[in-house]
Amino acid sequence: MRNFTYIGLLIFLLSMPGSQVFAQSKTLIPFSLQDQFDKTYTQDYYHGYYVILVGGDRKGSEYCFIWSDTIKNRLDKESLDERTKVLGIADLEAAPSALKKLIKSKFPREKEHGVMLDWNGTFDQAYNFTEDQANIIVFAPDGRQIYRTSATDIDQARMNSILASILRRAT
């Protein structure tokens, strides 16, 4: 009987809000974030599109830029760019608030390289990002998650899987 009590307590604790085990969202979460140009985006901007979220922390950011650019190029080649939006997220929760302005100035200045600045770690908390990597999550037009991976360098097998997750549903 004592073991059942411990198991019940463990299940209860793991199911509490904030538990990392059950915290990972399977849909595109509601959000309102600004990019480095102070343009505000919400989940409504992405409604009806396939969304490819590419996000990461400071060490993962170099891979995020590589993956975002490569994904955009492949979407264009596959004629999926009209139905798909790439959402770049910088997880800046660990950044000191006193350095926000300096950190913001380090992002690319080209408008086509807009990155949403997640100062509160909302996306990391919702999707449990893998540290030091690009986290790539694909959502269907209705907001359901249909593919997820994390990576460093580009590999064609993973890229093909990302595109296949969209092509299976888009055709």
Express each pLDDT in 54-113 by its tens digit: 999 999 999 999 999 999 999 999 999 899 999 999 999 999 989 999 999 999 888 888
Its pTM surpasses 0.85: no
Rounded to 10 deg, the angle between the 156-170 and 61-77 helix axes is: 50
Q: Which of 85, 75, 99 is nearest to 137 (CA)?
A: 85
Over residues 150-169, the mean pLDDT reads 93
Asked if 91 and 121 count as a contact pair (C-beta separation under 8 A), the reply is yes
Q: Would you kindly state where each structural domain of the chain is located, as residue ranges?
A: 32-170
Calpha distance 56→135 (Å, rounded): 6
CB contact at 8 A, 115 and 36:
yes
Q: What is the rounded average pLDDT of the residues 26-48?
A: 95
Q: Is the pLDDT of residue 125 over 90?
A: yes
Q: Identify the CA nearest to 133 among candidates 154, 161, 115, 147.
A: 154
Q: Which CATH class is domain 32-170?
A: alpha beta
DSSP-derived secondary structure letter, 152: S
Q: Are 60 and 86 in contact (CB under 8 A)?
A: no
